[in-house]
Each structure stands twice: as structure tokens, then as C-alpha cells.
Amino acid sequence: MSTTTQTSDILTQEVRQAEGNETMQLVSFRLAQEEYGVEITKVQEIILMGEITRVPQTPDYIKGLINLRSTVIPIVDLRLRFGLAREEISDETRIMVVNVAGKTIGIIVDAVSEVLRIRQDQIAPPPPTVAGLGQEYLTGLVRLENRLLILLDIDKILGQEESAAIEAATAGL
């Protein structure tokens, strides 16, 4: 992924048909007053919150399992994953179903905002420190007209912690 920092034209939400491979589409969502973006190719669908079956021996941020048209998928509470405060479920709360590393998982977000198209040169590398967010989920920042979008590496959502948890769980047997 390109990490050029050159300043660029400000892209409005009106998508500009830029030349060839330079653009990418993002789904943006809100989480604790911040705006995040995920590559649209990773997003399968967006669904309403439903009943989640909790699962034992999983990290806090694994809220449990849901039935997505006869497939059982895990639900990650992104707030807890990022160490943010818990929030009551609102009318805007959504589950974003994403495909990561061959698996389908749902992530709980405060609200889904829009689909937008950006150019690669709008992406700036992440600053050395971002409050409340571990570096590893982060691929960059996207400058928009009057706001900043945090580009998320959704593949890392289940993360090393979880792989470690898997090992710990099997080792415990």
C-alpha cells in the first residue's frame, strides 16, 4: 500500500473517476466519536444487532456468536477490542460483517456512515502515537475535506492476542 505523503486535492464525496488503480472504496463507520474506514472489498454486509450467544473462555471483546443465514459467526465488540468504554446499544449500532483471512466475522460499531472513494495519495502513514488505538490495527489516516478517517487493518481484528488465546486454551488441556 502506498504511503506517499504528498498533499493532494481534497476529494469530495462525489466520487471522482480517478485514473486506474489509484482509487479505493471504503466503508466508513463511527466508533466513540472517531471515524474509521474499512476497505469495501472486506465488507460482506451490514446487519442490525440481534441476539448474541455468549461463548465461554473467550476474550472480553468476543461478544459471542450469531446465526447469519445458517452460518455461525463470531461477533467482536470493537469498542472493547480497542480498549474503549462500553456503550449501550443504540438504534444506530450495527454489526458489520467482514471477511478476514478466510473467516467471516461480525464487528460491532456505533454507526455505519457511508461508502466513499479515496485515492491512494490521500492516505498518510499513521502518526507514531494514536491515542486509544494500538498501532497494529492501523494502516493509515485518510484526509478528507474537514475530517480525518482512520484506516483500519481489519485482518488484525482477531489479532495475535486471540491466537495467543487459542494456544493458551489448547495448552491448558
Partner 1 sequence: MSTSDPVVHDEFFESLLGDFLDESGQLLDALNDNLLQLDDWVRSLGENHQERCDDGLMNEMFRSAHSLKGLSAMLGLTDINQLTHKVENVFDAARKDELIITSSVVELMFQAVDRLVGLVAVLKDPSREPVECESVISQIAALLQSAGAERQQSTQADAERALGPSAPEPTTDTTSEGSSSTDATRTGLESEPSSEEVDLFTGLYNETNVPAKYLSIFVDETELSLDQLTETYLAIEDGGTREDLESLLVISHRIKGSAASVGQNRPAKLAHLMEDLLQEWVEKKWPLTPEVVDAMLRGIDELRQCVENLKRGGNISDQLGQAAEDLLKAREQAAAAGMNAASPGQTPQESGSAAPVNAEKPSGSVEKVSPMPEGLTESWRRQVAATAPPGMTILVGAVRFHPNLPLVGLKGQLLYEKLANAGDLCGFDPNPETLEELDELPGVRFGLATEKPAKNIAGLLRIAGVEHVEVEPLEKEPVVDAKPSAPAAAAAVKSFSTSQPSTASRSETRPADGGSKPTETLRVDIERLDQLMNLAGQLVINKARFSQIGEGLRAALSNKRANQAFDGIMRALNKMTETDRVNTEAELRIRLNELVSQARRIQHDLEPIRREVLALAGAQAAVNELGEAIHQLDRVTDGIQQSVMDTRMVPIGPLFTRFKRVIRDITRTNGKAIRLVIRGEKTELDKRMIDELSDPLIHMVRNSADHGIELPDQRVAASKPAEGTVTLDAFHRGNSIMIQVSDDGRGLNPDSILRKAIERGIVTPADAEKITPHQIYQLIWEPGLSTAEKVTEVSGRGMGMDIVKSKIEALNGTVDLDSTPGKGATLTIKLPLTLAILPSLMVKIDGDVFAMPLESVVEIVSIQRSEAKTVHGQWTARVRNRIISIVRLDEIFQWRQNHSEATEGSRDELTLVIVGEEGHEIGLAVDVVLGEEDVVIKSMAENYRNIPGIAGASILGNGRVSLIIDILAMIDMASRSGAAAMAAI
**From 1-9, 98-106, 110-118, 142-150, span contacting partner 1 (CB under 8 A):** 98-106
* Minimum gap (Å) between residue 129 Cβ and partner 1: 31
3-state SS of the chain is CCCCCCCCCCCCCCCCCCCHHHEEEEEEEEECCEEEEEEHHHEEEEEECCCCECCCCCCCCEEEEEEECCEEEEEEEHHHHCCCCCCCCCCCCEEEEEEECCEEEEEEECEEEEEEEEEHHHEECCCCCCCCCCHHHEEEEEECCCCEEEEECHHHCCHHHHHHHHHHHHHCC
Is 45 a binding residue for partner 1 by CB under 8 A? The answer is no
Q: How many residues bind partner 1 (CB under 8 A)?
A: 26
Binding partner 1 (rule: CB under 8 A), the pick from 6, 21, 70, 146 is 70
* Minimum gap (Å) between residue 63 Cβ and partner 1: 12
Is 55 a binding residue for partner 1 by CB under 8 A? The answer is yes
Is 20 a binding residue for partner 1 by CB under 8 A? The answer is no
Is 1 a binding residue for partner 1 by CB under 8 A? The answer is no
Interacting residues with partner 1 (CB under 8 A): 51, 53-58, 62, 64-67, 70-74, 103-105, 162, 166, 169-170, 172-173
